[in-house]
Structure 1
Amino acid sequence: MATKKKMDFEGSMARLEEIVSLLERGDAPLEQAMTLFEEGAKLLRECTSQLDQAEQKVTLLTAGEDGQPVEEPFQGEN
C-alpha cells in the first residue's frame, strides 16, 4: 500500500487551481464535485499554514545606529 507524499506549496497551488477549474466548469457529478471541494478545502488549509510559517521566518534588515544591518521581526500588513 503506497502512502501519499505531501505536496510542496507550488504543487498544492497547482492542484488547487486545477480543482477550481474543474468545479467552475460545472460538469462534474455531485459526488465528484463534493470530493473535489473537500480536497480543495484541505489544500487551501495546508497552503495557508505554509504561508503563515513562511511569514514568521521573514525578517527585515534595517540599518542600526552604527549603520550595520539589524534584524527585526517581519510585521505583516493586516
Structure 2
Amino acid sequence: MALTAKEFDVLALLAASRDKVVSREQLMSEVWDENWFGSTKTLDVTIGRLRNKLDEAGAHDRVVAIRGVGFRLESEH
C-alpha cells in the first residue's frame, strides 16, 4: 500500500510539524499550491486515504482533525 505523491506530501508536512496543528490553508497551498482551484474536499479525501493506509500499516501515528482549524499528526499512546 504505497502512498501517492500527494499523500506523501501531506504526511511529510504533518510530520515536520508533529503535534502541532497545520491549517487546511497551509496544507492546500504547500501541497497543491495557492493556484489550486479545486475543492478543499480533495484534502479531506487525501487525509481519509492517508488515515486508512496508516491504520493498515499498523502505524503508531494518526492524523487528527482539529475542527475549524486543520490537522495534526500525533502518536497513539
Q: Where on the TM-score scale, by shorter chain, does this alignment land: which range?
A: 0.3 to 0.5
Between structure 1 and structure 2, the one with the greater Rg is 1
Instruction: State TM-score, norm by structure 2.
Output: 0.38
Structure whose residues are more often helix by fraction: 1
